[in-house]
Structure 1
Amino acid sequence: MRILPVSSLSALAAALLLSTNLAPTAPALADAPATQPHQASATLQDLVAKVDIPYEKFVLDNGLTTIVHTDRKSPIVGVTLYYKVGSKNEPRGRTGFAHLYEHLFFGGSANVPNFDIPLEAAGSTSTNGSTWYDRTNYIETVPTGALDLALFMESDRMGHLLPAVTQDKLDKQRGVVQNEKRQGDNQPYGLFDYAQSAGLLPIGHPYRHSTIGSMADLDAATLTDVREWFTDHYGPNNVVLVLSGDIDAATARPKVEKWFGDIPRGPAIKPVMAGPVTLAAPLSRDIHDQVPVLRLTRNWTAPGLNDPDSPALKIGMHILGGLASSRLDNALVRGKELAVSVSAYDQMFEQVSFLTMLMDVKPGVDRGKAEAAFDAVLADYLREGPTQDEVRRAVTSMLSGEIGGLERVGGFYGKGATLAEGEVYSNDPAHYKKDLAAMAALTPARIKTAMNKWLSRPAYALNVVPGERTESGDSMGGWGDEAQRPAPPADPHAKAPPLPPAPKREAPPVQPVKELAFPAIERTTLSNGIPVALARRTAVPKLVVAIDFDAGYAADALDTPGTQGLMLSMLDEGTTTLDATQIAEAQERLGARISTDGSLDTSTVMLSTLSDNLAPSLALTADLILHPAFAEGDFVRVKAQTEAALAQALSTPASLASRTLEAQVYGSHPYAQPLDGLGNARSLAALTPGDMHAAHDKWLRPDLARITVVGDVTMEKLKPLLEQAFGGWKAPANPAPVKPIDAATTPASGNRIILIDRPNSPQSVVMAGRVLPISGTTPGQEPLVLANDVLGGDFLSRLNLDIREEKGWSYGVRTSVDQPVGPRMLEVSAPVQADRTGDTIKALMADMSAFPARQPVSDEELQRVTDGAIRQMPTQFETNAAVLAGIRKNERLGRPEDYYQQLAGVYRAIDAKTIGAAAQEYLQPSGLTFVVVGDRKVVEPQLQDLGLPVEVRAAPAGAEEGSEQE
């Protein structure tokens, strides 16, 4: 919560990047003749026409701009506010202040003691905010009956915040933000962004310093600074409010007038002058970090999102390194096999953008050879320009992603954010239409011209080299001249003058919330016995398809660790008639995305596609699943990529902690397999193409399959297409394999700590867990769900409020009780500042022990986790993907089809005593295994007085060492 996004500025662009840069990593399924052309039936103009967000707009006398979009598909309203201020507005010595203030904005206002509690109890989802260079935004999606409450609360903090902002709150949120910074810095390649902007932009450029800021500037922020920031930037005339969903302008205007109309104007925000910068000569810098592979990058600045060249740059960079069939992929990953991954992207902001191309070098490849090939791809591309087919594929994939984004009314990337950003950055809520039309009209010549104009300039070669980290993020992110011009000393606890009292305002009651209307499910069975479920939803002309196999990573207990994940990742690397590039290009032409996913219990092939292109998309999906080639050359390449991914996992603190914990608590049970599906180094090294064929034939068979579809299609149309694709697929004569998930687990005899020494870590990742004596199919476990919410399952949980909000030691603490088919596991996750590792473990155990013995469920907690959960249900199933997940989970756990419709009644019947009993039985700290990934010299002394046995291990230097720990 209170996230600092890493996606591009534009909500539209972010949605498009999500739909394309995350293109298939491992597609699957298929039986249609490979000779069938995988051709799209929708033209680019058809796709552009389908992206439409009608709106009405009005402006209050105080300058507040309000945009209203009506979408009646669910009884919910997205509330989106964009304040026209971000980190680019920060003066020298106050970097990170816009983001720090965003955190304070959730701490309550004059008439709202806590911003989250009333909204979450009312059923709000995605109650959040974020800061970026150009803006600060706040979002919540609420049931229609809670809209007045949301508007009251947003208006109270817009107009009457300061009386509630105390020195104590400032100090605590300062600690939270600093731990957010440590958490980001602690990741592999975590210092890259600081170095990128510092090398591309001169000192004082508004986009040079990071949004998270420097530690010194955060330390220096005073209460007086907070007040000045609010009064200078948070007036209604600097805000765009979007209401999207079950609302219309006639209803919205009197509500907005009532709650916001009396807030006086503030000063207009002074315009910031900024733009792209051309380097005088090429620059190069190496930074050393605890990373598994060498990362090469080339970087430039370019114009902002309103520049005429921006659509061409976005598509041009997507062709270079965003498509699955990109120039970089084809040349360096699948071609010369010099890289394990590549990408290129345009990170676009209002006045400037960052162009980046990236290559993770395959271990063992000579650096000079890699750099020469990397630069040659760009040189060839600038000389030749893209082909017409590349342009069409890139634009189609982006347009398809934007159509999918129309499902959400609110949130960070929904329709509300798209309208808000158009107004904020371009004075036009419908600016997305111009962008999409411009992309659809692009020609190869236009893209070639723009790419040469901006990428032929001197590049900044910023490279991350494996080794010991020699720099600290604490000193990065600031103005850049601190060493030469130290900031004047500030007293962060200097007393601010008293404020006049704020007017008293009463919160409106939440009106009745409609019950969940889960879509009807139609069922059928294909001629070969595969069951099919369809939930028809027509809000957008797209659909999602899941083909689930009863396999998953637990299947590796019968094979070799990592087999299932590697086999799935090979499915889109070639069939008997198509190679990997042809498969990628076919998806891009269709605006489809085929991917694979694994869990402990299930191996899944997912298809997301336009309704118009369902038939060829299913044909392609079928070809991948039924006719994978597992060719030797492709296998060697993908295995090398998987080994690099394993090395990355072992160098990432949270992944290393999770893999270690799973292996320790499950022991010899099939669920001890790593949840990332990567196995270990020894097992990966031993796998062969023959193992892939064997695993495919063993587990991907029709008698272990189930197909679920959600979206804009009728069963009348769907079944013949599925029959054509999969109906002729016959199960082998041998019986289907059965995973031994009913095998016994061995409970831990007591608490213990495994400390993994990772030097130079500014933060420790603390994870703890134990196996519970219940399975995912054990009925009647809803009280445990609610007990987990009270303890650590959401932002307002006890552990998060204590360790993050009260103590300021962490950016976020969570607990979860996963729900596989077999034995369930309680997991606690707490990334904390290194010098508070021991104190955090003490606090975790104390808080867990107190629930419910010394601290039973309060009335407020009961109302929040029961009524809040009930009221959230319509929002939880807003998208096709969410409905798909719900149907699949019911099937996997053997729950009734109407489980979610009945869930509200189940929650209403659960009282505080029942929740407390579940906590007493399942959520106590006894028998926990703690895994701590951190700097031994800092952490180990803190563990001595805990009275728990401590085992110290070295952090893996690479995948080979890591295999010893699993």
Structure 2
Amino acid sequence: MIRKLTLALMMSGSVLAVQTPAFAQSAAPVSKLVEAVNIPHEKFTLDNGLTVLVHEDRKAPIVAVSIWYGVGSKNEPKGKTGYAHLFEHIMFNGSENAPGDYFEYTKKIGATDLNGTTWLDRTNYFQTVPTTALESALFLESDRMGFLLNAVTKEKLDNQIGVVSNEKRQGDNQPFGLVSYKQSGTLFPVGHPYHHSTIGSLEDLSAASLDDMKNWFIDHYGPNNAILVLAGDINAAQAKPLVEKWFGSIKRGKDVAPVNAPVPTLEKDVKIVMKDKVPTTRIYRNWVVPGLADPDANSLFIAMSALGGLSSSRLDNILVRQEQSVVGVSAYLIPFVHGSLVNIQADVKPGGDADAVAKRLDEILADYIKTGPTAEEVQRVAASNIAQQIDGLEQVGGFGGKAVALAEGELYVGDSSFYKKELERLASAKPETVKAAMQKWLTRPVLEIRVEPGEREAYKEVAAGSGSRTGTLTAPAFYAPPGADDVSVSAPVAFQDRSKFPEPTSTPALDFPTVEETTLSNGIKVFFARRAAVPTVRVAVSFNAGYAADPADKRGIASMMSTMLMEGTTSLTSTQIAETEEKLGADVSVGSTLDRTVASLRAVKPNLGLSLDLLADVIKNPAFATNELERVRVQQLTRIKAENNQPQGIAVRRLPPLLYGAAHPYGGPQTGSGYVETVATINRADVANFHQSWMHPSKAEIFVVGDTSLKEIKPMLEQRFGKWKPAAAPAPAKNFAVALPTPESKILLIDRPNSPQSLVLAGLVLDAKGSDDLLSLRAANEIFGGDFLSRINMDLRETKGWSYGVRSQINGAEDRVPFYMFAPVQTNQTGPSVKVLIDQLKDFNGAKPVTAAELEKTIKGNVLKLPGNYEQSSAVLGQMQADRLNQRPFNYAETLADRYKALTAQGLNDAMRVKVDPSKITWLVVGDAAKVKPQLEALGLPIEMVTEAANTNASNNAK
């Protein structure tokens, strides 16, 4: 559980602890929850050392294929930082028997949940495929394990150096994006494997040579340094001959030397002050503590969760809610093999005294270390996190499914069942054990970092893609042909013909769950689908509200109201809400999107009724306390400021209002946060009236997916929502009959000095609604820019190396849908990148329409991946809500295969040409104007400079 619950635990919290409500006292014990967490599996090892784990899960015709290599950035010597991650990119550029881009193959076999990642201790590659494509996936993974060297070229290396360099620039360009370098470089001494960041330095990346990469492969990518996990519609008896067939002939590689790195300790406290484009001062406290296998790591995870991870955490209670000196806090542990990182951070209230906050933070921490958590805090940490683990077991692969749990245990501690031991430690933890761990590890010298608003130092840039061959390379044979002397294979392995790609044997049909419908006594419609893979239930109470319901002079009110619903009811304080959901292992949240406001619940089955009680109370009985409203207002104003300091935030705040006009329901910032001047005027009566008018039974629908039945769930919903009688009339329908501005082909340039990258966002409002049949248009966009293999991404990323990734999208909306192109690009190629996008769109709608090969790939891939798309209950729930929003039948997903097969190139071309006019695209660029404006002037489009001050409601009304 530790591995999944680190950075995600940055949640807001509650006020001083009070007694938990009576209805939560009968929550199921933590021990009962632990019993539900189980991943039975079998293990075998090939003669070449490849470890294989197989877990059988027959809920869908899919198999997760996940391969983990025991190599990460910790294995990089000085001067070669970033090589592990760079090589991960190269692994996607084709192998000897699967030339071309790896995603070309995964696309045509219908892979979902696919990617590769690198961190300090490992590199992994994963995809979930239809059962009929399992052999295809095994062919691909085995070919790049055993047959890669001759496919690695100088051209591919130089391109990926450019891509990775732009990935680094993109991360560095974010607020607080440079902090992690200070943390790793200070906490871990020179020579420690964690001293440098996984992304590496631009200098080292630029200097990487072809020999460097090939030797990296030879040294680290042998089967004896890998773990293969297969999870899903398969068992060990079926898996073993297939794995032997494709991996058995790969020779054993070099033994990777073990890393010896004791937990470091600073000699004395270290204080660092940084300047950045941030909305307010952030204060950090950091220590290095034991690695993930040490029991103290589990205790410190509990300690940080209770301190600043839970919604009811101590830091939230004191600093955010009671004293209101900060607008956000968090505390969490990031686990690694050779030492874990404890991170505590607090964002000072704008205008507040950072020194006073730092002092108070240290006082709270000192008292906490001295006294330790309470038994109830430990219990809440256990219940809430075990419930999250149960929920994660529904997924077989991806970033956090069952395959991940098995692989991490096997790789990091040599025990694939380590996940279970972690949970048992969590469930049995005692306050005194947690306190002892804190007193042992958190009383050592601390790293204190303070990031203050201000101008960054000039970004240190180097030329990317300058790697060159430095010598010759003699590589050992990684494939043993018939009769070869291979001591790693005890029995002959049949020769496998790799000249022909093993295509999927058939196309499994999607079995989307039947959606049952009923109506509560007050008219609220209920839509239910059964999914029983894990003992959880998801409920979404959806209201026809969202950002589009914001009045033009109250932009941001839907977001403010959504936040306020979790800040107290007429019977529960915000602390009681938080503590109750934690005790129940539930997750209650309220959020708004463009067209809907949704109150959501994820509950473990034993606590479903009690969890529904909490959800209903949050929806129907908000307190809207004035003191809480003022605190939430400051948080939302700080969020607006943060968005105006972040490139993508600036873009999505500024462009959509210009496309739709300030009077249109979609004419506000697409973040939903509103404007400073509108949020400042919203009072308690405004919020209460908005809630009564829009979160109204007549605007509500309830969607349920999970381990229950309509017969069981309907009475439970009737009891809590069926007799709901509102105090006010519903709000009128949103007014979409607002004239849109005439689209203009021009460039809006927002100056952001010292930006390592430029952010390009282009847009156009289409003559189409979400309820229209947009399948052909979306399929055409997938080819143009909506997929990794799309034309614009392959051009700007894979061919030119100017971006980490670009995309175009047809956004979902109830009314007029927008078309966007999004491209973060390196500064010195901003103008040329915009020209590429212009030319690509003109070509797509003109001389270079959809090809037969592109059409076939799009149809085949989308049909094959349907079962994987709906593996999880959350995806089913999302599809049900989307179908309802877009006025489609609930069996829509099951019709998609035939609808895709009926697509034609002419149909895709016509859809794009009719809907997307290149001459009407509006362009917005966020970057260093002094460097990019001359480039943009060469394009011949009108350029308007836009200042940050213009990003207000008043200025948008003036347009």
TM-score, normalised to structure 2, is 0.95
Aligned ranges 1:753-768 → 2 under 5 Å: 753-768=747-762
Aligned ranges 1:314-463 → 2 under 5 Å: 314-463=301-450
Offset at 1:176? 0.1
Number of aligned positions between the proteins: 934
| Preserved CA contact (<8 Å) 1:607 1:621 | yes
Alignment match, 2:88: 102
Overall identity of the aligned pairs, in %: 46
| Preserved CA contact (<8 Å) 2:6 2:334 | no
Alignment match, 1:245: 232
Which deviations, in whole Å up to 9, do the C-alpha atoms of 1:848-906 show, x marking residues without a partner? 11114222222321122111111111111111110000001111111012111111111
Specify which of 214, 219, 241 is matched with residue 254 of structure 1.
241
Task: Find the residue that maps to 2:550 and give its secondary structure.
Answer: helix
Structure 1 961/201 Cα, relative in aligned 2: closer, same or farther at 3 Å?
A: farther
Alignment match, 2:934: 941
- The one-letter code sitting in structure 2 at the alignment partner of 1:540 is V
Task: Find the residue that maps to 2:644 and give its secondary structure.
Answer: helix
- The one-letter code sitting in structure 2 at the alignment partner of 1:928 is I
| Preserved CA contact (<8 Å) 1:647 1:958 | no
Alignment match, 2:709: 714
Offset at 1:962? 9.6
Which deviations, in whole Å up to 9, do the C-alpha atoms of 1:76-115 show, x marking residues without a partner? 0000000100000000000000000000000001011121
Alignment match, 2:34: 48
1:900 aligns to 2:888 (yes or no): no
Query: Matches of 1:631 and 1:651 in 2, distance apart?
Result: 30
| Preserved CA contact (<8 Å) 1:650 1:959 | no
| Preserved CA contact (<8 Å) 2:85 2:199 | yes
Task: Find the residue that maps to 1:123 and give its secondary structure.
Answer: coil
Query: Matches of 1:48 and 1:743 in 2, distance apart?
Result: 54
Query: Matches of 2:714 and 2:29 in 1, distance apart?
Result: 25
- The one-letter code sitting in structure 2 at the alignment partner of 1:892 is L
Task: Find the residue that maps to 1:331 and give its secondary structure.
Answer: helix
- The one-letter code sitting in structure 2 at the alignment partner of 1:545 is V
Offset at 1:24? 8.4
1:141 aligns to 2:117 (yes or no): no
| Preserved CA contact (<8 Å) 2:14 2:316 | no
Offset at 1:557? 3.2
Task: Find the residue that maps to 1:95 and give its secondary structure.
Answer: coil
Specify which of 16, 33, 50 is matched with residue 64 of structure 1.
50
Query: Matches of 1:845 and 1:351 in 2, distance apart?
Result: 49
| Preserved CA contact (<8 Å) 1:94 1:217 | yes
- The one-letter code sitting in structure 1 at the alignment partner of 2:535 is P
- Segment of structure 1 superposing worse, 548-557 or 176-185: 548-557
Specify which of 599, 602, 606 is matched with residue 605 of structure 1.
599
Query: Matches of 1:25 and 1:651 in 2, distance apart?
Result: 27
Task: Find the residue that maps to 1:815 and give its secondary structure.
Answer: strand
Which deviations, in whole Å up to 9, do the C-alpha atoms of 1:227-251 show, x marking residues without a partner? 1000000000000000000011001
Query: Matches of 1:149 and 1:39 in 2, distance apart?
Result: 51
- The one-letter code sitting in structure 1 at the alignment partner of 2:91 is F
Alignment match, 2:491: none
Alignment match, 1:533: 527
Query: Matches of 1:953 and 1:631 in 2, distance apart?
Result: 38
Alignment match, 1:286: 273
Query: Matches of 1:727 and 1:524 in 2, distance apart?
Result: 12
| Preserved CA contact (<8 Å) 2:44 2:51 | yes
Query: Matches of 2:21 and 2:347 in 1, distance apart?
Result: 35
Offset at 1:924? 3.9
Alignment match, 2:2: 13
- The one-letter code sitting in structure 2 at the alignment partner of 1:604 is V
Structure 1 735/618 Cα, relative in aligned 2: closer, same or farther at 3 Å?
A: closer
Alignment match, 2:214: 227
Structure 1 23/148 Cα, relative in aligned 2: closer, same or farther at 3 Å?
A: farther
- The one-letter code sitting in structure 1 at the alignment partner of 2:403 is G
Structure 1 25/176 Cα, relative in aligned 2: closer, same or farther at 3 Å?
A: farther
- The one-letter code sitting in structure 2 at the alignment partner of 1:856 is P
Query: Matches of 2:21 and 2:440 in 1, distance apart?
Result: 41
Query: Matches of 2:640 and 2:466 in 1, distance apart?
Result: 46
Unaligned runs of at least 5 residues, structure 1: 1-11, 27-33, 477-488
Alignment match, 2:154: 167
- The one-letter code sitting in structure 1 at the alignment partner of 2:339 is V
Query: Matches of 1:491 and 1:582 in 2, distance apart?
Result: 58
Offset at 1:491? 6.2
Task: Find the residue that maps to 1:867 and give its secondary structure.
Answer: helix
1:838 aligns to 2:814 (yes or no): no
Task: Find the residue that maps to 1:605 and give its secondary structure.
Answer: strand
- The one-letter code sitting in structure 2 at the alignment partner of 1:639 is R
Offset at 1:594? 0.8
- The one-letter code sitting in structure 1 at the alignment partner of 2:309 is G
Query: Matches of 2:466 and 2:812 in 1, distance apart?
Result: 51
| Preserved CA contact (<8 Å) 1:188 1:291 | yes
| Preserved CA contact (<8 Å) 1:657 1:767 | yes
1:79 aligns to 2:73 (yes or no): no
- The one-letter code sitting in structure 2 at the alignment partner of 1:790 is I
Query: Matches of 1:40 and 1:845 in 2, distance apart?
Result: 62
Alignment RMSD (CA, Å): 2.1
Aligned ranges 1:466-615 → 2 under 5 Å: 466-470=453-457, 472=459, 492-494=468-470, 496-497=472-473, 505-557=499-551, 560-615=554-609
Query: Matches of 2:82 and 2:682 in 1, distance apart?
Result: 48
1:954 aligns to 2:940 (yes or no): no
Alignment match, 1:648: 642
Task: Find the residue that maps to 1:671 and give its secondary structure.
Answer: coil
| Preserved CA contact (<8 Å) 1:219 1:492 | no
Alignment match, 2:485: none
- Segment of structure 1 superposing worse, 911-920 or 69-78: 911-920
Structure 1 956/321 Cα, relative in aligned 2: closer, same or farther at 3 Å?
A: farther
- The one-letter code sitting in structure 1 at the alignment partner of 2:317 is N
Alignment match, 2:846: 853
Query: Matches of 2:263 and 2:728 in 1, distance apart?
Result: 65
Task: Find the residue that maps to 2:918 and give its secondary structure.
Answer: coil
Query: Matches of 2:730 and 2:244 in 1, distance apart?
Result: 68
Alignment match, 1:725: 720
Offset at 1:383? 1.5
Query: Matches of 2:454 and 2:399 in 1, distance apart?
Result: 37
| Preserved CA contact (<8 Å) 2:14 2:578 | no
1:90 aligns to 2:93 (yes or no): no
- The one-letter code sitting in structure 1 at the alignment partner of 2:679 is L
Query: Matches of 1:417 and 1:496 in 2, distance apart?
Result: 38
Task: Find the residue that maps to 1:284 and give its secondary structure.
Answer: strand
Structure 1 52/195 Cα, relative in aligned 2: closer, same or farther at 3 Å?
A: same
Structure 1 57/948 Cα, relative in aligned 2: closer, same or farther at 3 Å?
A: same
| Preserved CA contact (<8 Å) 1:223 1:496 | no
1:663 aligns to 2:657 (yes or no): yes
- Segment of structure 1 superposing worse, 190-199 or 549-558: 549-558
Task: Find the residue that maps to 2:865 and give its secondary structure.
Answer: helix
Offset at 1:20? 4.8
- The one-letter code sitting in structure 1 at the alignment partner of 2:719 is Q
Task: Find the residue that maps to 2:778 and give its secondary structure.
Answer: helix
Specify which of 863, 870, 873 is matched with residue 880 of structure 1.
873
Task: Find the residue that maps to 1:378 and give its secondary structure.
Answer: helix
Task: Find the residue that maps to 2:705 and give its secondary structure.
Answer: strand
Query: Matches of 1:284 and 1:601 in 2, distance apart?
Result: 46
- Segment of structure 1 superposing worse, 357-366 or 463-472: 463-472
| Preserved CA contact (<8 Å) 2:696 2:730 | no
Task: Find the residue that maps to 1:951 and give its secondary structure.
Answer: strand
Unaligned runs of at least 5 residues, structure 2: 482-497
| Preserved CA contact (<8 Å) 2:109 2:503 | no
Task: Find the residue that maps to 1:334 and give its secondary structure.
Answer: helix
Structure 1 774/579 Cα, relative in aligned 2: closer, same or farther at 3 Å?
A: same
Query: Matches of 2:647 and 2:957 in 1, distance apart?
Result: 17
| Preserved CA contact (<8 Å) 2:12 2:328 | no
Query: Matches of 2:653 and 2:319 in 1, distance apart?
Result: 30
Query: Matches of 2:783 and 2:822 in 1, distance apart?
Result: 15
- The one-letter code sitting in structure 1 at the alignment partner of 2:858 is V
Offset at 1:36? 5.7
Alignment match, 1:797: 790
- The one-letter code sitting in structure 1 at the alignment partner of 2:632 is V
